[in-house]
Amino acid sequence: MPIHDGWLEGARRVPSPHQDVRPDGEVSLLVLHSISLPPGRFGGDAIERLFTNRLDPAGHPFFAAIAGLEVSAHLLIRRDGECVQFVPFQARAWHAGRSCWRDGGIERQALNDFAVGIELEGDEVSPYTQAQYRALAAATRALQASYPALTPERITSHAHVAPLRKSDPGPAFDWAYFRQQLVAADIYA
Give yes or no: 121 in active site: no
Q: Please, are residues 157 and 167 in contact by the beta-carbon 8 Å criterion?
A: no
Burial status of residue 151 (CB atoms within 10 A of its CB: 0-12, 13-18, 19 or more): exposed
Spatial distance between the Cα atoms of 180 and 182, rounded to a whole number of angstroms: 5
Spatial distance between the Cα atoms of 106 and 95, rounded to a whole number of angstroms: 21
Please pick, among 70, 107, 119, 153, the residue that the annotation labels catalytic.
119
Nearest to 68 by CA among 49, 86, 84: 49
Q: Which residues are catalytic?
A: 119
